[in-house]
Amino acid sequence: MIRHIRSLFPAVLAATLLLVAGFGCTPKKVNGPTADAPQGVWQLFRANYCQPAKASGMLVKASLYYTRTEPTRRTNRTLLSMWGDYGGPMRLDVSAGIGKLIAHIREDNTGLLVFYPTEKTAYAHVNPVLGATRLGMPFPFSLAELAKVSMGDFSGLTPEGFVDVTRTKEGFRYTLHGSRAGSIVLDEGGRPIMLEGRTANAYDSARTWHLGIDRYPTDDGPRPLPARLTLATGNGEQGVLRIKSRELKMSPWPDKSMALTLPEGVTLRRLDNGYKAGQQTEIPVVYEDKS
């Protein structure tokens, strides 16, 4: 039986508070002899984490632990395989374990298509951000953008320059303008530690989001890639993405690998009939553990 998410009330997880605890103390303005340090750190970030991959496509395998607290506590524990070509369609398979496939997902320029094989039902929505979020993946950007972030490219979330900078215990906090993220914290080596922003028109009202980036290896050259991404939204949702493996593809994915063909007899339900920007639509959760 398909379970449906009810409207969520604004709430903040304790884990969210832990994520943003570093912003609680009053930061110090950077000036004097150290004024050039923030610019150098920013340049390291731009050089190492804002460059397009020198590849045609990618493949990421990861696990996702999703939590919400309102109106009741729900958790999702799933395994993800995400692949596609940069600038093209993106595919995502979701499973509850080996051999327990839950959903096939395809995102392209027409929106999001989600197929539940055990239910013989598929759902389509023109807004890929909204569709993915209601699936229990609270990332306030598309799967294509999530794929780039997973591969260490933050250029789609940050601008070329910053407006202001303050020092924090982790390094430097940069105030941004004209980008998905409103601020970013970088350590002294230019590695992204935290991004903060607000959602766009995929919701009835804007919500804050915080993306924590950690688990960097210590011996991976000048551009180490994080093993964990933790994203929390202002309504109490949190997703912890643990990246198991990454692979760049030098050749484009075959069309058959990117296709999502619905078998005969599958019911296709559109979730965007009468949809307007900013409107929320109910969509089933891929997997729920009530414990």
> What SS3 class is residue 70?
coil
Between the CA of residue 67 and those of 105, 138, 231, 239, what are the distances in Å? 21, 10, 11, 6
> How many structural domains does the chain have?
1
Region of residue 66 (phi > 0: left; psi between -120 and 50: alpha; otherwise: beta): beta
Give the CATH number of the domain where residue 259 resides: 2.50.20.10
List of residues 6+ apart from 180 with CB closer than 8 A: 140, 141, 145, 156, 157, 158, 197, 200
What is the residue-wise DSSP string for 147-179?
A: HHHHTT--TTTS-SS-SEEEE-SSEEEEE--SS
Region of residue 77 (phi > 0: left; psi between -120 and 50: alpha; otherwise: beta): beta
Between the CA of residue 207 and those of 65, 81, 131, what are the distances in Å? 21, 28, 16
Distance (Å, whole) CA 183 – CA 163: 10
Hey, how many other C-beta atoms are within 10 angstroms of the C-beta on 56?
16
Distance (Å, whole) CA 155 – CA 47: 10
Q: Which domain holds residue 124?
A: 14-270
Q: Is residue 37 assigned to a domain?
A: yes
The 10s digit of each residue's pLDDT in 201-245 is 544 455 789 999 999 998 767 789 999 999 988 878 888 999 999
Give the per-residue pLDDT at 73: 84
Q: Is residue 144 assigned to a domain?
A: yes
Q: Is residue 153 assigned to a domain?
A: yes
Q: Is residue 182 assigned to a domain?
A: yes
Give the per-residue pLDDT at 274: 55
Both structure tokens of 81: 């395989």
Q: Is residue 54 assigned to a domain?
A: yes
The 10s digit of each residue's pLDDT in 245-266 is 999 999 999 999 999 999 999 9
| Confidence label for 174 from pLDDT (cuts 50, 70 and 90) | very high
Burial of 106 (0-12, 13-18, 19+ CB in 10 A): buried
The 10s digit of each residue's pLDDT in 104-139 is 999 999 999 999 999 999 988 888 877 666 655 556
Q: Is residue 201 assigned to a domain?
A: yes
Q: Is residue 280 assigned to a domain?
A: no
Q: Is residue 2 assigned to a domain?
A: no
